[in-house]
Amino acid sequence: MASSSCCFSGSSISSAYHHHDRPPYMKPKFIQSQPISNQNDPYSSLTSITTTCTAKNSRNVRGERDRENLERESRERKEEVNNKIASKKAISVILRREATKAIIEKKKGPTNSKKLLPRTLLEALHERISALRWESALKVFELLQEQLWYRPNPGIYIKLIVMLGKCKQPDKAQELFQSMIDEGCMANHESYTALVSAYSRTGLLHQAFSLLEQMKVTPGCKPDVFTYSILIKSCLQVFAFDHVQTLLSDMAEQGVKPNTITYNTLIDAYGKAGRFGEMESTLMEMLLEQECQPDVWTMNSTLRAFGGSGQIETMERCYEKFQSAGIRPSIKTFNILLDSYGKAGSYEKMSAVMEYMQKYYFSWTIVTYNVVIDAFGRAGDLKQMEYLFRLMRSERIKPNCVTLCSLVRSYGRAGAKEKIEGVIRFIENSDILLDTVFFNCLVDAYGRLGCLAEMRQVLEMMEKSGCKPGKVTYSTMIKAYTSNGVSSRAKELQDIIGRQYVNRRDSKLSQIDEPHFH
């Protein structure tokens, strides 16, 4: 892929940053660092610095754990004292709350169920909204409406509508919106924006755009930058870039200026789609705006775009520009750099980043461990990969599907079937929630090894875990069957893929829903 550095290599971006007159920040030493140990073997530097950094990180985590233990013990002592001096009145309140919770769960109770404690009901509602338990939340809200002290509150309605949007329940959100109006609450731009979000999150862009037009003509409900940002993000998620440009033009007509969140959303989406020209022009526009200053999210999106596409030099120039503008890197920034260098095989630069993290006390997160584990797996160093896996568990960092995918993928390449079985045993004794991507990696690993019986058993594992095999799953199995001369099995799976494609195409044709502007 050609390098897209039209504005980052020139003086335009520097002058744009100077326009903000920001203070300088420390020069990133690791960008042009030399190998740390053996210059003839850059990979050895990664191994040596990993050992040092993980040991340092282990000490930091242990120190933090000791402080947390002391704080927890202090809190427990205070709680014990408070419990001892609790009055009978407080105990009575606690008992009443427990009774209220029981009524909430059963929706059946004594005749005084309309006199429940407000605080308990509101706490129960908040808990269910936060956990996205929409059905239970609506039941609690119904019980709330039955109380003698109940008064309609648009804030509660908005929270419920936002929750329903996240749960892909736009029809329920519309019902609540109408119920809010029927109860005498005035609709404002916040409630409309919540409903717009509910439709756009579900992909019903036509309804979302219709609501946008309705907001424009409703007094006190003019769409603001948050309304437009939500719609822009939804369009970008389905790659509807033409609608994004229409929205941006509409914002200009309405006198609504994009904010940092809007620009960051655009930069991140353009970068992930490989539309580097549009990403850079958006960044330049943002830099020239007095009221919108780039932040660490802007930097991370830009670095991820160039680093993920293998444009390492452009990524490094961007990092220097952002640093000189006074934007401080976060742990996420270093994870992006580590991942980019690891996939590019730049092990000495990975080592330098880890050394920098150690020097400035950046503790490793699960993402850091996953990135470095994957790097060692790609390099074929199973011993070091397994050491890091044991270390992350000793630090009480729970592995996830990304970790397991790296392990299985590496074992498959190395032909270590017994190691793959060890990973499966580990999963059986854990509560890790598996996804289709992990099972696809497992299918690929067994296919590489020619273990066709074990590969078929993965489908049963997927069914037990509630995961459905998709096109990638079947295509990987077809490849394995074909390379092992089992053409009949490959033909069966090709027929399955064909039927799935037809069904999916018919479903999409029946749900075509194009947004429009009046």
Residue 13 has what pLDDT? Answer: 46
Q: pLDDT (tens digit, 0 to 9) for every residue of the chain, 518 residues total?
A: 444 444 444 444 444 444 444 444 444 555 544 443 444 555 665 666 666 666 666 666 556 666 666 777 777 666 666 655 544 444 444 445 555 555 555 544 454 566 677 888 888 899 999 999 999 999 999 988 888 888 989 999 999 999 999 999 999 999 999 999 999 999 898 999 999 999 999 889 899 999 999 999 998 899 999 999 999 999 998 888 889 999 999 999 999 999 999 999 999 999 999 999 999 999 999 988 888 889 999 999 999 999 999 999 999 999 999 999 899 999 999 999 999 999 998 989 999 999 999 899 999 999 999 999 999 999 999 999 999 999 999 999 999 999 999 999 999 999 999 999 999 999 999 989 899 999 999 999 999 999 999 999 999 999 988 898 888 999 999 999 998 888 888 888 887 777 765 555 555 444 445 454 44
Q: At what angle do helices 366-379 and 347-359 cross, to 10 degrees?
A: 150
Determine whether 75 is exposed, middle or buried from the number of CB atoms within 10 Å of its CB (0-12, 13-18, 19+): exposed
What are the helix (H) ranges across 325-400? 331-344, 347-359, 366-379, 382-394
283 φ, ψ (degrees, to nearest 5): -65, -40
Residue 453 has what pLDDT? Answer: 92
Query: Residue 119: which of 102, 131, 101 has the closest Cα?
Result: 101
Residue 31 has what pLDDT? Answer: 53
Q: Cβ distance 416 to 382 under 8 Å?
A: yes
Q: Tell me the three state secondary structure of residue 508.
A: helix
Task: Please give the structure tokens belonging to residue 331.
Answer: 């742990």
Question: Dihedral of CA 133/139/140/145: which sign?
Answer: positive
Q: How many CB atoms lie within 10 A of CB 365?
A: 16
CA–CA gap between residue 479 and residue 406 (Å, rounded): 21
CA–CA gap between residue 433 and residue 415 (Å, rounded): 26
2 φ, ψ (degrees, to nearest 5): -65, 145
CA–CA gap between residue 345 and residue 351 (Å, rounded): 11
CA–CA gap between residue 107 and residue 101 (Å, rounded): 10
Residue 210 neighbours by CB under 8 Å, 6+ apart: none
Using DSSP, how many helices (H) and how many strands (E) does the chain show? 25, 0
Residue 369 has what pLDDT? Answer: 95
DSSP string, 376-389: HHHHT-HHHHHHHH
Residue 288 has what pLDDT? Answer: 87
CA–CA gap between residue 125 and residue 163 (Å, rounded): 11
Query: Residue 158: which of 118, 122, 120, 129 has the closest Cα?
Result: 129
Q: Cβ distance 320 to 312 under 8 Å?
A: no
This prediction has a pTM of: 0.71
